[in-house]
Structure 1
């Protein structure tokens, strides 16, 4: 069973918060929710990652400057 993480960094090399879920759909909802609340702020980076046996692989990344980048589907 996989786990999904959403991380949000407030600025480069700055503080961050993270959540972990065992349900991909819940993690995707959280990613979108954080994007809706914090995505318009300068410097914020939000990432949805999948943990595959101890290695985290980015699925989606959001920055105000680049918008949403989909690295791969889950």
Structure 2
């Protein structure tokens, strides 16, 4: 079974806010919304994962790894 998880961290390796969805569309709406709400925080990292058979695959991450300080 496939699910989708969005993780928000306000600092590297810090506590996480996590949400789970059954559809990619719902997870992407949350991912985009969290970027709008929390993306201006200097150390915030927001990641969208596909979770299939217990394995996580990063679909999107903000900011992109290349753009992080």
Q: Fold match, TM over 0.5?
A: yes
Tell me which protein shows more helix as a share of its residues.
Answer: 2
Q: Partners in 1 of 2:10 and 2:48 — Cα distance?
A: 15
Q: Partners in 1 of 2:67 and 2:6 — Cα distance?
A: 18
Higher relative contact order (CA 8 A, sep 6+): 2
Structure 1: runs of 5+ lacking an equivalent? 68-74
Q: Does the Cα contact within 8 Å between 1:43 and 1:63 map onto a contact in 2?
A: no
Structure 2 length as normaliser, TM-score? 0.89
Q: Partners in 2 of 1:13 and 1:21 — Cα distance?
A: 23
For 1:71, the equivalent position in structure 2 comes to none
> What secondary structure sits across from 1:40 in the alignment?
coil
Structure 2: runs of 5+ lacking an equivalent? none
Aligned residues: 67
1:6-21 matches, cutoff 5 A: 6-21=6-21
